[in-house]
A and B are shown apart, each in its own frame.
Chain A
Amino acid sequence: VQDRPTVRELLDAVRAFLEADVVPALHGPARFHALVAANVLAIAGRELATEEADLAAEWRRLASAARTASAETPAGTEALRAAVRASNEALAARIRRGDADAGPYRDAVRAHLCATVVEKLRVANPRLVPS
């Protein structure tokens, strides 16, 4: 295991440096880009904390919407991420075919998408998470 600071702590340190020292010293477009950079580090920090759990939750919802609940959850973040991506492509194909235009499958897909959007907003922009 690596020594402290953790990745999260390192990201937070750089973000604090940007916000406290870099942003006030800059003007115009460079100042704006420093603020964007600080925000991007905040996103990265939040994602590190929740990615594993969010991926697993998204995988479970995709499997139940596709009625392949028997499918085993892939081990390891990389395999899980690839499996979720493949399932999302299959889901997009079904939506494009019109399967989710009406009926219970539409409701199931909407419920899944709403949950996914909330998980993504908690990382990308927590202020916009619907209360």
Chain B
Amino acid sequence: VALRRGRPPGRRALRARRVLRGVRARRRHAVDPAAARWWEIFGNLKWAIICIMQARTFLDGAVRSVELASLGRRVVEMELELLELTEE
């Protein structure tokens, strides 16, 4: 089931396309879209894990920071990205 099937590409997709176009123009050879997608999935997963760890620091009572607490509620943003990126 699609979050965006049949709809125009989202902000993330547009940003990724712009970056790929820029890289192609400068390096005069094609970027492997599958590799780019892999790294994008990796980057989102990594940022999700960092946010979970930061929220954990708050939850364990190590650092009572509202900023660290708020990062726990940003994990869903990467879940959205990952669902869109792994859609076939």
Contact = CB atoms under 8 A, between A and B. Distances in A.
Nearest to B8: A131
A33 B76 contact: no
Given A33-B67, A37-B66, A40-B66, A130 B4 contact: yes
A32 B66 CA distance: 11
Interface residues of B, number: 19
A114 B79 CA distance: 9
A121 B77 contact: yes
A40 B66 CA distance: 8
B2 to A, nearest CB: 8
Nearest to A32: B67
B77 to A, nearest CB: 6
A31 interface: no
18 contacts: A36-B67, A43-B73, A110-B1, A110-B83, A111-B1, A117-B3, A117-B80, A118-B3, A120-B76, A121-B77, A124-B73, A124-B74, A124-B76, A124-B77, A125-B77, A128-B77, A130-B4, A130-B80
- If over half of B's interface residues share one DSSP class (helix, strand or loop), that class is named, otherwise mixed; here it is helix
A114 B83 CA distance: 7
Interface of A: 32-33, 36-37, 39-40, 43, 107, 110-111, 113-114, 117-118, 120-121, 123-125, 128, 130-131
B10 interface: yes
Contact of B76 (A32, A40, A111, A121): A121
Contact of B79 (A32, A107, A117): A117
Nearest to B71: A36
